[in-house]
Amino acid sequence: MDSNLAIFSLEHTYLVNSHPGIYESSTGLWQDHLEWSRALIPYNVLDHAQENIRVIDNVSRLRLTIMNLNHNGMSETNHIKLIEPQLNNQLITISINGNEVFVNNSRTEILKTFKTVGFRKLTLASGELKAVGSNFIQHLNSIALRSNVEIMISEYETDFKGLNAKSEKDYIYILGDTINLSLAETHVQILIDTLLKNCFLDQVQIPRSMVPCLGGAGLNSLSELTHELKIKLYLPDLSHVFATHEESVSNSQISIWMTGDRIAELSMAKKSLLDFTSLVEARQTNSDKVYVQEVQVCRDKLDLISLYHQRDVFSIMLKHGTYIRKSYSLESRNQAMFVKGLTPSSVRESIMGISALSCGLYHLDITFSRVPPTADLEYYLISLINSKRTCVLIHNQYGISFLGAKREIHMLLKELVTNLKDHQYFYKALNKDMGGLQVSLKMELANDQKDFLSGKKNGKIIKILNQLGNVPKVSFLRLSNLNFIIELSVKVNSGIKSKQVVTAFDLLLRTISLIEMEFPAEMQFNIPEVFHKSLIGNGGAIIQSILKKYNVFIKFSRYGVSSDLNADSDDMMNVLNPFLFKRDSNVLIKCPMKNLRSIMFVKHEIDQLVHQCWHNRSLSFNGISVIYNTIQFRLLKSHYLLLIKEAKFNLHFVSDLEQEFSTFIDFPNSIDAFGGENSVMITIKGNDSKARLCAGKMAGYLPRSFGIDVHGEYGKLEDDVSSTNVNFRENIIIPFRLLLQTELIVELSMQVQEHGSFHRITLSSFSDQGLTMAASELSQYLREKSFLIVDHRSAAFNPIVSIDEKPLGVITNQKSNGDVRPSFLRRLLTCGRIAR
C-alpha cells in the first residue's frame, strides 16, 4: 500500500492568569498546574508560583483529537505525531503517516478541531461594580455557558501573557475561542447597558447573508443610520463565518441590537434601519436582482485561506457588499465557493479579491522516483516545516510537495540552498534507484495579466531565460476562468549530487525573483471626470509624455463610480450605499514591480495637473486656457438627510448630474462632512455655463422649506430649542422625522435688523402636508416656551451662494481668483492605493 506523509504547523495560542477575579465563571476552560505543561509557554510568562497559574490554550483539544484518531485508525502505516510548541517556536507541528484516505480524513478532523484562543476586555464605569448584583451574575454565568467562554470581573489590567498590574478601574474579561468572543462580548455589553445603566433595548432580525449588503464598507452604513441618535448599535461580527461550510449558518437569522436611554431614540433608529432593510430584502428576494456565482478553489489553498485569511475574506465581503460561503467535500480536490451580491460587478470584484488571496500561495514540487519515507527523512522534513506558519508538506510516491504563503516558500528555498549540504542522508535517500529529479514552482496570476507579464511575443520571458542560460523552463497553464498558472521548473539528470541539487534550487529561486519583478503593480484612484480631457491633452499629448518619461501604463475610464472600470451604468445604479457617497477608481497606473517607485512619481505629476485645472491654469494643445467655472452651493444638513431618504438610500443622482452636465460636484462623503454644523458648502466645477445649469437642477431636487423667525435670549433659545434638549428631541425632532418626514435646523442670531437680532428655525420636507403640520406644532411649542414669533412663512431658500464664471481667454501666468476648498484638494491629492 502506498505510504503518504503530511506535515503542517498550526499557531499556538494561550492565555495565562495567576490572579483570581472578583467574579469568575466556571465553564471549565481553565487548566490548573496539573493539566498543562510549562514547557509549552515562554519562561517570562511564568513569573508567579506555579500552583497559582491557570491556562487556556488550543493544544489540549488537538491532543485529544489526535489520540482518538490514532486509536481508531492506528496501524503500522497509519499514525499521527504531535510536536508540542517549544519555547523558541510557538507553533504546533503535526505529522500524519498513512494511506491517502487516512491522511486526508485525519487532516480534515484536525483542522475542524483547531481553534485559536483570545480575550476581550470591557471597562466598567465608575460605580458600576457596586451595581453588580445576583441577577447580573446569573446572566453572566448564562452567557458564559451558552457561548462556551470564561468571564471574569477583575481589578487587574492584564494581557494574559504575564503582564499584570492592579488598576483603579474594574474590568470584565471574556476569554475563550476567538470564534465565540464577539457574540459573548455583545451579550455582556447589552447586559451592562440594561442592568447597570438602565437603558432600553430593541433589536432587528435579518438573515446573516444580508449583513454585508446592508452594512456596506466596514459596516459604516449601519453606523451612519444612527449617527445623530444617542444610542449604541451592536453589529454582528462575520469575520469567522468563512470558517464554516454549513449552508444553514448562512441562512440563519441574526440580531442587530440597539440600546439607548430613551424609547423615542430607539424607535427612530429602528425605523431608519427597517426602512433600509426592506429595500435590501426586497432585492434579495427577487431572483432577477440577486447574483450568485460559484468559484472553484484548490482544497489545500482553501484550508489555508480559512485558517489565516478570515479577516481578509470578511473585508472583501464588506468592501463589495457581498456574502461569501464555502462548500466543503472530501470527494473533490477542488472546493466550491459561492459569492452572493446585488450587482454583477460586486460579485465579480469579490471573486477577484478571493482570487488574489489564492495567488498569494505558492506550490513547490520536488519530483523524483519512488523513495520510501525514512525516520531521518521525516525528521528533516519536520525541521523544514515546524517554523513555517502557513506551509503544508506532502510526501508520497511522486515526490515532495510544499504549499504555503509566498514569503515562506521563498524562505524555504533559501534554506534548501544553504542547508542541504548538512543533510547527507537526504541525498542517500534520493540516490536509491533514482533516474533524476525535477524542482518546480507554480504561481497563480489573473488571466487578464498574462499579456502584461509575458510581454510582446513573450519578450519579457525570453529575456529572463537568456539571463539564466535557458536552463529553467517557464510554462503558462490554464487553471480557470479567473487565473492561470505560471510553472517554473529546473531538471536535474540522473546521478544526483549535492551540488547539482543546490544549484537547481538556487536557479529556481533566481527565476522566481526575476518573474516576480515583472508582476504588475497598480495604483487606482479617482480624478474628477470633468478634468480628464485637460489631463490627457490634445491627441493624448500630455499623458503620452508622462507614459514615456516613466515607462508606465495609464488608463482613464469614464463614469468612475465603481471600482470595476468596466462596469456599466445600470449595474452601478443598483448599488445601495446609504449616507455614504463613494467615488471609486477611474484612473489606473500600471507598471512592472521592478518599476514600482515610478507609480508615485506619476501620481504626483497627475496631482499637479489636477491642481492646475482646479485653479484654471491648465493649457490645451493650442495654447488656449481651459476655464472651469465655480459655483458655491450651500447644502443644509436637513436637506442632505431628506435627499437620502427620498432617493431610497441611493446617492446615484449626484453622478447622474455630473454626467449630464460634464461637471464635478464636491458632494459630502458622509454626514461627518458637516462637522456639527447646519450646512456645508459644495463646490461645483464645469466648463462654460454647465456648472451653473447643474447647480440649478440640483437645487430643484431639494425639499420645500418653511422658516420661523423668533425673538428670544440667545442662551434660552440654545437651551430650549436644541438637539441636546431631551424634551425638544422627544416632542419635536423625533416625531417630526417619524411621523411627518420633516427635518429642521436652528440658526442662532442669524441676522440683525433695526429692532435687534432674531433666530431662524427652518423646517424642510418633501411632504406639503407634513411641512404644514410641523410648522403648526412647532409654533405652538415655541409659544408655550414664551418665545415671540416674528415671522413664519414658506422660505424661498436659494442654495446657490456664488457664481464665478470667467470668459474664455488666452492663458496667462496670473493666479486665478477662483475659490477652492483646501480640504477637497488634500483628499484629492492623497487618495489612491497600490495593489498587486
Question: 763 with 708: CB under 8 angstroms?
Answer: yes
> What is the Cα–Cα distance from 654 to 656, expressed in whole angstroms?
5
pLDDT band at 574 (very low <50, low <70, confident <90, very high): very low
pTM above threshold 0.85: no
Q: What is the pLDDT of residues 260-301, one digit of tens each?
A: 988 988 988 888 888 877 877 766 666 556 788 888 888 889
Q: Locate 624 and state its grid cell.
A: 488656449
Q: Average pLDDT, stretch 70-78?
A: 80
What pLDDT was estimated at residue 332?
60
Least confident of 120-124, 235-239, 465-469: 235-239
Residue bearing cell 433608529: 269
Residue bearing cell 440600546: 259
What pLDDT was estimated at residue 750?
58
Q: What is the 3-state secondary structure (H, E, C) of 488-546?
A: EEEEECCCCCHHHHHHHHHHHHHHHHHHHHCCEEEEEECCCHHHHHHHHCHHHHHHHHH
Closest C-alpha to 613, from 534, 544, 559: 534
- Exposure letters 32-69 (e unless 16+ CB within 10 A, then b): eeeebeeebbeeebeeeeeeebbbbbbbeebeebbeeb
What pLDDT was estimated at residue 567?
42
> What is the Cα–Cα distance from 635 to 532, expressed in whole angstroms?
27
Between these two residues, 108 and 812, which has the higher pLDDT value? 108
Least confident of 114-118, 381-385, 697-701, 795-799: 795-799
Residue bearing cell 431636487: 701
Choose from 223-227, 309-313, 415-419, 697-701 the range with maximum mean pLDDT.
Answer: 697-701
- Measured between alpha carbons, how far is residue 505 from residues 6, 440, 498, 732 in Å? 22, 9, 11, 76
Half-sphere exposure of 75 (CA within 13 A, CB side): 9
> What is the Cα–Cα distance from 28 to 392, expressed in whole angstroms?
33
Question: 10 with 91: CB under 8 angstroms?
Answer: yes
Inform me whether the pLDDT recorded for 754 exceeds 60.
no
Cα dihedral value 789, 791, 792, 796, nearest 10: -150
Sheet containing 23-24: order of strands: 23-24, 149-158, 164-177, 117-124
Q: Which residues contact 415 (CB under 8 A, 6 or more apart)?
A: 384
Q: Average pLDDT, stretch 705-726?
A: 81
Question: 393 with 401: CB under 8 angstroms?
Answer: yes
Q: Average pLDDT, stretch 636-654?
A: 86
Inform me whether the pLDDT recorded for 636 exceeds 60.
yes
**Domains and their CATH numbers in the chain:** 1-198 (no CATH), 291-359 (3.30.1370.10), 361-518 (3.30.310.210), 522-562+576-615 (3.30.1370.10), 705-799 (3.30.70)
What pLDDT was estimated at residue 1?
53
What pLDDT was estimated at residue 824?
46
468: helix, coil or strand?
coil
Question: 634 with 684: CB under 8 angstroms?
Answer: no
What pLDDT was estimated at residue 816?
39
What pLDDT was estimated at residue 822?
44
Least confident of 58-72, 137-151, 420-434, 651-665: 420-434
Instruction: Spell out where 48-188 has E strands.
Output: 54-57, 79-83, 91-98, 117-124, 149-158, 164-177
Inform me whether the pLDDT recorded for 48 exceeds 60.
no
What pLDDT was estimated at residue 318?
82
Inform me whether the pLDDT recorded for 766 exceeds 50.
yes
Inform me whether the pLDDT recorded for 305 exceeds 60.
yes
What pLDDT was estimated at residue 653?
87
What pLDDT was estimated at residue 274?
85
Q: What is the pLDDT of residues 456-510, one digit of tens each?
A: 888 999 999 999 888 899 999 998 888 999 999 998 876 556 677 778 888 999 9
Q: What is the pLDDT of residues 127-182, one digit of tens each?
A: 899 889 999 999 999 999 999 999 999 999 999 987 778 888 999 999 999 999 99
Rg (CA), the chain: 32
Q: Average pLDDT, stretch 656-679?
A: 89
pLDDT band at 818 (very low <50, low <70, confident <90, very high): very low
Q: Average pLDDT, stretch 337-353?
A: 86
Q: What is the pLDDT of residues 202-215, one digit of tens each?
A: 999 888 878 777 76
Q: Average pLDDT, stretch 386-406?
A: 91
Q: Locate 466 and state its grid cell.
A: 537568456
Instruction: Spell out where 594-703 has E strands.
Output: 629-636, 663-665, 679-686
Closest C-alpha to 709, from 756, 761, 659: 761
